[in-house]
Structure 1
């Protein structure tokens, strides 16, 4: 069993530093308490309490026995830090290298306390900035804690100033985001009104085209009949000549004005015209071809007046036969133009609706990234990040590969807007589709700063942006609290 839950402290790196930051005031306050506790416990052999943090001092008080911190064993107290590992958890040798799983506590007054592996104790390398890990005096370690603390405080102050500058920029971006959002909303409303008007006009154009097609079919019907050819075109010409008022149909009066009796050039009676047209009522071009035109062609009883006969070769189309196809073609062109305008407007509305449906942060602070792309050259590759769209990798040969398309925000629940996930990129050779995770970091400029591929076909990018500054500051505060 474990008798005491460890207080988390940073681990030292190779130069005696550690990950994370602590304000200098907290460091000094912490070590004043440590110094008082050490002075009040002068009766304890300093060798016995070496490598022990303040939180664990109560377990190493001078007494006859020592209970291993995992509760697995009781040993005589004089076996603590005797350079022989008795406890399974290594808790009896915090100040020596006897236990492979042991840890040594660096007090590091003036800097940050931290743990190192016990194997580094007295190994000839100064791991603690106060040199306490090399207590056998064979290695002389200068105390660099104060300088490290000053450097860290200066770096932290510079970073916080940058965060404050970033926050100022972020407030401006939020204002611009609100303005851009309203502008896009207005654009959407305008396009929706235009779309409604285009739909109304399109229906009118379709109606006019249908009318033009019907008129063309009425006037030029003979050209679509089995009798199409030079003869049919001649019939259309004669029909156009007889059609005095050019309404696409022949009346009794119009036939009487242009057709006479074959024998004596006598004008035809109403009954004769009605019979020649196959019945009462006006006759269109198709009906004319099937009735009167056949009589004219066979020279049965009737003929065209001499002044209308002309050359019965290829026709010189009259106004009626020319006007119908011309109107139909114009109607078709107008309809096509209107349909293209309608589709273009619908596409613009779809794009705007997609933009407006995207999550740009709690205050739309990331809206300004929409439509922008940021590039970074790493060796022979050029990486391009287009937030809310896609990520690509372009080689020096010009070949471009998709590293993913925008999917969603992927940050933790407390800060969801700290990461962006891009998926479904180009498949790797014998591998999965490429994906990219973008981490947003506070910065006074918007730029793509880092790109790496820790795992095959899985990329990690770092984008600096003022919009992430508040999240960065809150994350730093949480890191400080966790170390305390």
Structure 2
């Protein structure tokens, strides 16, 4: 029995070592095959991603009809690739349509007529679609519309007739409608301040957005202060004389001085408007009140029956008071647009 036991031990050890060698060899080739498979998969994914990006770039590489520009949504700027003159919400209407053998030719489908034409004809300054949709960024189509590249947050989208594209006048706050940068002819150029902005244009959208935000804050505060003006007219029987619910009645109990140039003015809404040049002249610029408009947020009060001395054809002086939303009662501006005709901008919470 001892001889058999001694003889078997080396055989068992050899079998164990052989099994271990086979197992390790199998593991080595398995790991090598797995690494090779993962490498090929990674390479295939990389190639596929490259092809996708190349197709994407190829689709939007026409610089004459496409451009990268800032757009605003919820007050945050971001970059979007859209055709010139197209609102970002209509981008889906301007995706290339694949046509031809193997679908290699890129086409554009007219928005309304659905006619197909080469995508390179988009914004080429020639009107091909009957609906004008192939020229959103030029003045080629008489019935087209151009959307400004940068839109202000929380406001209606700004667009203009295509005839006003590259006409030398800055209609869009970012100047995107004057993308050619051509100034108007000298004979058409405006001179002076506060007339119109002319090409080449500057981007002043941020300034407008800031002012708009401040105006919204003024309106919110003004609406809260407005309740006191409504309460002041609760006991009136002729409330409509002073606007909706008599909201402007409180102003009829006060006068508001204002100085412009060498004159001192005194504006008493619903009572009188006077002008004085100490120590000589004193004129009444209106003493009878009547509403020219008091709806849809527009409040325009006419003060007529003023003095007629030195006025053209002996017409009596008159004043128009335009009430604007503000957080306190004050005369913002007073000007004489025509001889003996005055325009007064008046800020008050009553107009909020």
Tell me which interval the TM-score lies in, with the shorter structure as reference length. 0.5 to 0.7
**Per-residue displacement from partner, 1:173-199 (whole Å, max 9, x unpaired)?**
333444xx48xxxxxxxxxxxxxxxxx
Q: What is the aligned partner in structure 2 of residue 446 from structure 1?
A: 329
2:111 counterpart of 1:58: yes
Aligned pairs (5 A) from 1:210-359: 359=241
CA drift of 1:432 comes to: 1.9
CA drift of 1:121 comes to: 2.3
Q: What is the aligned partner in structure 1 of residue 212 from structure 2?
A: 156
2:149 counterpart of 1:108: yes
**Per-residue displacement from partner, 1:354-379 (whole Å, max 9, x unpaired)?**
x9788233433322222311122111
Aligned equivalents of 2:214, 2:227: Cα separation in 1: 20
Higher strand share: 2
Aligned-residue Cα RMSD (Å) equals 4.9
2:87 counterpart of 1:34: no
**Contact 2:320 2:343 (8 Å CA) reproduced:** yes
CA drift of 1:425 comes to: 1.3
Q: Secondary structure at the match of 2:246?
A: coil
Q: Out of 355, 373, 390, which is 2:272 matched to?
A: 390
Q: What is the aligned partner in structure 2 of residue 296 from structure 1?
A: none
Q: Secondary structure at the match of 1:58?
A: coil
**Per-residue displacement from partner, 1:370-413 (whole Å, max 9, x unpaired)?**
23111221112222211121112223553111211123222155
**Contact 2:93 2:111 (8 Å CA) reproduced:** no
Aligned equivalents of 2:208, 2:286: Cα separation in 1: 38
Q: Out of 435, 439, 461, which is 2:344 matched to?
A: 461
TM-score normalised per structure 1: 0.40
Structure 1: where are the runs of 5+ without partners?
1-21, 50-56, 65-76, 183-354, 470-484
CA drift of 1:441 comes to: 0.8
Structure number with higher relative contact order (C-alpha < 8 Å, ≥ 6 residues apart): 1
Aligned equivalents of 1:120, 1:465: Cα separation in 2: 39
2:174 counterpart of 1:121: no
Structure 2: where are the runs of 5+ without partners?
1-71, 79-85, 100-104, 183-199
Q: Secondary structure at the match of 1:445?
A: coil
Residues 157 and 133 (structure 1 numbering): CA distance in 2 closer, same or farther, change over 3 Å? closer
Q: What is the aligned partner in structure 2 of residue 175 from structure 1?
A: 231
Q: What is the aligned partner in structure 2 of residue 165 from structure 1?
A: 221
**Contact 1:383 1:392 (8 Å CA) reproduced:** yes
2:263 counterpart of 1:381: yes
Residues 47 and 432 (structure 1 numbering): CA distance in 2 closer, same or farther, change over 3 Å? farther
